[in-house]
Chains A and B, each alone.
Chain A
């Protein structure tokens, strides 16, 4: 398969993840959409690394995965705290900082 096929696949998964982020009301659901988007980026990085012969892309994908894990841990901790305080994780109800 050519590089283009992998890039189109990654773009499709990215778009689906973006759709999830935009339409989900639940904060955990939004986090799942972000996961999909970051995952699509990893496919791009590894595909470019494979087709250019430079292992730097794989290194970057490794770093992205580690950063994503940190992001999920902190994000879910925040969700749990919000739930304790506000009794909801619906993104529409969390407008405390709205001016």
Chain B
């Protein structure tokens, strides 16, 4: 087994375990912490796939930004309730059946047509390629993304403001 194989299985185990904890733990705050673990493990998978820039983005935006926002939201609503948010789940069996069906369906496609591609040589510096792609063929999309982020920011402020 190469080092990459060992790293992949370790990351996969952490990712799946953390994901299961996110959807199963009764304490919502713990679920967010498990989500942070799952997001960091995903960043590790990006590293394995030779995309170190995405690893940084994942840590900064997801594990840093999103988790912080969710923790703030939980603390705000918890404070208003005055009791810690315990959450129960419903329709566990039905949900498990649907999720398993989706998983089996996707894996069924993979079994029918197994992707047998061996990875080509990675570019020496994917970050440089990525930067040139962002301001080259994808420049318009990048600008639209900026507009979207500003809109989301304004929308969030508009929703969350107090009436007075």
Contacts and interface: CB of A to CB of B under 8 A. Distances in A.
A23 to B, nearest CB: 4
A77 B123 CA distance: 41
A59 B138 contact: yes
Interface in B31-80: 31-32, 35, 38-39, 42, 45-46, 48-51, 53-54, 57-58, 61-62, 65-66, 69-70, 72-74, 76-77, 80
B57 A62 contact: yes
A17 to B, nearest CB: 7
Contact of A47 (B49, B57, B98): B49
Q: For this complex, into which size category does the number of interface residues on chain A fall?
A: 35 or more
A46 B96 contact: no
A35 B23 CA distance: 11
Contacts, number: 233
Contacts of A12: 16, 19, 103
Nearest to A91: B90
Nearest to A39: B42
Interface of A: 1-9, 11-20, 22-26, 28-29, 31-33, 35-36, 39, 42-43, 46-47, 49-53, 55-56, 58-59, 61-63, 65-74, 76-81, 83-84, 87, 89, 92
20 contacts: A1-B8, A9-B15, A11-B102, A12-B16, A17-B19, A22-B95, A25-B88, A42-B42, A46-B46, A51-B119, A66-B61, A69-B61, A69-B66, A72-B66, A74-B159, A76-B72, A76-B73, A81-B160, A83-B77, A87-B80
